[in-house]
């Protein structure tokens, strides 16, 4: 049985059907005029041989072409792209089945930050009354490592609401190079969570090593096809409207290997996309459609997700403002476009502008987490633990986010109104009204332990103290003390023998021997 996610019965939509059609038409026009600049020769050739108009627009040292994608190529691709995409997992009960027409949401971590934020609690004494001492969290940023990634995957394995894993930290150890980064990040993730693992690829040269590792772990090539325990994200289009040379090649190669892929675009309204909603929507939709079209031209039927990470520019420093309400508006619009095309949607929420866990973080995160979830994207990259845009990851924050998603999931349960329920409660009403005390409390009991009632916020302090961070920290330690099911010893040893470049400190069995 795959994971259940949460079905949004009546998804929230911002645009009317007419507006959706307007965006679609505008995107089709953009794909044709101006079209996209392609820095990738092979993609250009693929488009050309399928009837797209191509013209060289560059000097010989930096070759690029203008590709005008005709409407029927796009429509064909939309036709052949699967409406249902399955993402497998080491534990098959953790696999995800996503249907583009069904607004069933799965919650996912990610994505790669450079800074890992350690937390510890220190006592502070009140100056005017030294008897009063409080514990205050202190945050210590540092560069992320591969062992941090193991820990992140370990924690995410135990976060109840988290459905799939995108690595939240960039591994920056001295012995990690471009040539061994991919195998190490995939192995560190796969070995510490039994949920689905998705990531971007750093070096195309590593693709086959990664795929072969996945085959070993899944139990063979056919098994991997049937249970794709890994998948990839590619941002092949750089906004506005440019096929990047290397990521486009990555997409082509992944499609050839038949693994699921996210075609994602991340325009920033105001700088790399128009600031107006209609404008950024027309552009991002064109960019994603261009990627989807290419994926289907390379290999018909490639499982592909409509990936959207639109944001608004901060006007004080032009960085991405994920906390801005407009970012959620754009994301929700993209979910609606993906549903219009019946493609499963990779969407974004939860990223915030603040640098440490705290009140602003909770406000910004919950705001987009709730709203974007309500729109019903299938694969919601909701950034458990991310802070400071895409720069910092903090385990403690991930634990707090899990609590938010539990509330959101609870809220989205279907309404409990039926004739049987009504009849039953009418009986209750008549009974209670006839008693002197007129209280319904006794009827709570049968529901109390059945999971039908929500429980108080898990990090509520005693009395009047706000102790949220300290309590979440306790929870975090408790989750990390629970074991994870690693890849078995025999497979691990094959992986280390057959896949070059994996750091020996990631071998949990070797380490145990040393101890």
Partner 1 sequence: MSEDIIALLKENVIQGRRTKDDEGIDENMAGTPGVLELTQLALEKKISAETIITQALTAGMQVVGDKFTKKEYFIPDMLASAEAVGGAMDILKPYLEASDVATKGKFIIATVKGDIHDIGKNIVSILLKGAGYEVNDLGTDVPTERIVGIVGEYKPDFLGLSALLTTTMVVMGEIIEALKESGLRDKVKVLIGGAAVSDEYAQEIGADAYCVDGFHAVKVLDAFKEEKA
Are the CB atoms for 351 and 388 separated by under 8 Å?
A: no
Instruction: Kindly state the smallest distance separating residue 452's Cβ from partner 1, in Å.
Output: 13
In terms of CB distance, is 130 or 436 closer to partner 1? 436
Instruction: Kindly state the smallest distance separating residue 446's Cβ from partner 1, in Å.
Output: 5
How far apart, in whole angstroms, are the C-alpha atoms of residue 375 and residue 308? Answer: 13
User: Given CA atoms 215, 217, 222, 228 in this order, what sign does their dihedral have?
Assistant: negative
| 3-state SS track over 223-238 | HHHHCCCEEEEECCEE
DSSP code of residue 488: P
Which residues bind to partner 1, rule: CB under 8 A? Answer: 436-439, 441-442, 444-446, 448-449
Instruction: Kindly state the smallest distance separating residue 472's Cβ from partner 1, in Å.
Output: 18
Instruction: Kindly state the smallest distance separating residue 471's Cβ from partner 1, in Å.
Output: 14
In terms of CB distance, is 446 or 483 closer to partner 1? 446
How far apart, in whole angstroms, are the C-alpha atoms of residue 392 and residue 112? Answer: 9
In terms of CB distance, is 142 or 442 closer to partner 1? 442
- Give the relative orientation of helices 489-498 and 207-218 as an angle to the nearest 10 degrees: 160
Instruction: Kindly state the smallest distance separating residue 482's Cβ from partner 1, in Å.
Output: 22
Are the CB atoms for 393 and 169 separated by under 8 Å?
A: yes
In terms of CB distance, is 130 or 463 closer to partner 1? 463
The CA distances from residue 428 to 272, 405, 417, 441, 447, in Å, are: 60, 33, 15, 11, 14
Q: Supply φ then ψ for residue 217, to 5 degrees.
A: -75, -35
In terms of CB distance, is 140 or 430 closer to partner 1? 430
Instruction: Kindly state the smallest distance separating residue 438's Cβ from partner 1, in Å.
Output: 8
How far apart, in whole angstroms, are the C-alpha atoms of residue 220 and residue 195? Answer: 18
How far apart, in whole angstroms, are the C-alpha atoms of residue 323 and residue 61? Answer: 41
In terms of CB distance, is 122 or 437 closer to partner 1? 437
In terms of CB distance, is 434 or 441 closer to partner 1? 441
How far apart, in whole angstroms, are the C-alpha atoms of residue 74 and residue 77? Answer: 5
**Most distant CA pair in the chain, distance:** 92
Instruction: Kindly state the smallest distance separating residue 249's Cβ from partner 1, in Å.
Output: 58
In terms of CB distance, is 136 or 439 closer to partner 1? 439
Instruction: Kindly state the smallest distance separating residue 378's Cβ from partner 1, in Å.
Output: 37
Strand order in the sheet with 268-269: 268-269, 311-313, 320-321
Phi-psi region of 129 (alpha: psi -120 to 50; beta: other; left: phi over 0): beta
In terms of CB distance, is 1 or 441 closer to partner 1? 441
Instruction: Kindly state the smallest distance separating residue 420's Cβ from partner 1, in Å.
Output: 17
């Amino acid at each position: 049985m795959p994971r259940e996610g949460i079905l949004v019965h009546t998804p929230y939509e911002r645009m009317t059907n007419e507006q959706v059609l307007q965006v679609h038409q505008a995107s089709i026009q953009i794909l044709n005029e101006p079209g996209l600049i392609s820095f990738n020769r092979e993609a250009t050739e693929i488009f050309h041989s399928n009837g797209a108009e191509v013209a060289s627009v560059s000097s010989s040292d930096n070759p690029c072409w203008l590709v005008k994608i005709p409407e029927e190529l796009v429509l064909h691709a939309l036709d052949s792209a699967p409406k249902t995409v399955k993402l497998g997992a080491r534990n098959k009960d953790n696999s995800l089945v996503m249907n583009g027409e069904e607004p069933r949401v799965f919650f996912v971590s990610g994505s790669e930050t450079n800074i890992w934020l350690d937390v510890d609690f220190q006592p502070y004494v009140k100056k005017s009354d030294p008897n009063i001492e409080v514990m205050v969290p202190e945050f210590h940023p540092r560069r992320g490592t591969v062992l941090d990634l193991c820990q992140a995957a370990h924690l995410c394995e135990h976060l109840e609401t988290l459905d799939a894993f995108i690595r939240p930290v960039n591994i920056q150890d001295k012995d990690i190079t471009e040539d061994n980064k991919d195998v190490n990040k995939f192995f560190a993730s796969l070995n510490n969570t039994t949920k689905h693992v998705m990531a971007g690829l750093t070096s195309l040269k590593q693709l086959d090593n990664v795929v072969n590792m996945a085959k070993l772990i899944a139990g063979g090539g056919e098994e991997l096809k049937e249970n794709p325990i890994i998948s990839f994200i590619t941002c092949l289009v750089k906004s506005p409207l440019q096929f990047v040379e290397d990521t486009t090649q990555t997409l082509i190669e992944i499609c050839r290997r038949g693994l699921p892929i996210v075609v994602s675009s991340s325009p920033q309204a105001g700088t790399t996309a128009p600031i107006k909603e209609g404008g950024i929507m027309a552009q991002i939709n064109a960019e994603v459609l261009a990627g989807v079209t290419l994926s289907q031209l390379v290999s018909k039927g490639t499982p592909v997700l409509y990936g959207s990470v639109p944001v608004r520019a901060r006007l004080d420093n032009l960085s991405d403002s994920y906390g801005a309400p407009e970012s959620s508006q754009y994301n929700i619009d993209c979910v609606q476009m993906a549903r219009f095309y019946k493609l499963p949607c990779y969407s974004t929420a939860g990223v915030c502008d603040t640098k440490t866990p705290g009140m602003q973080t909770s406000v910004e995160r919950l705001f987009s987490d709730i709203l974007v979830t309500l729109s019903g994207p299938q694969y919601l990259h909701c950034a458990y633990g991310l802070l400071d845009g895409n720069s910092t990851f903090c385990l403690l924050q991930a634990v707090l986010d899990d609590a938010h998603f539990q509330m959101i999931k609870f809220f989205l349960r279907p309404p409990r109104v039926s004739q049987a329920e009504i009849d039953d409660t009418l009986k209750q009403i008549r009974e209670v009204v006839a008693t002197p005390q007129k209280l319904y409390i006794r009827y709570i009991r049968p529901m109390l332990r059945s999971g039908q009632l929500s429980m108080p916020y898990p990090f509520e302090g005693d009395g009047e103290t706000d102790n949220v961070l300290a309590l979440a920290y306790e929870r975090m330690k408790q989750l990390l003390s629970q074991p994870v099911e690693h890849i078995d010893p025999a497979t691990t040893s094959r992986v280390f023998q057959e896949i070059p470049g994996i750091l020996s400190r990631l071998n949990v069995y070797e380490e145990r021997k040393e101890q």
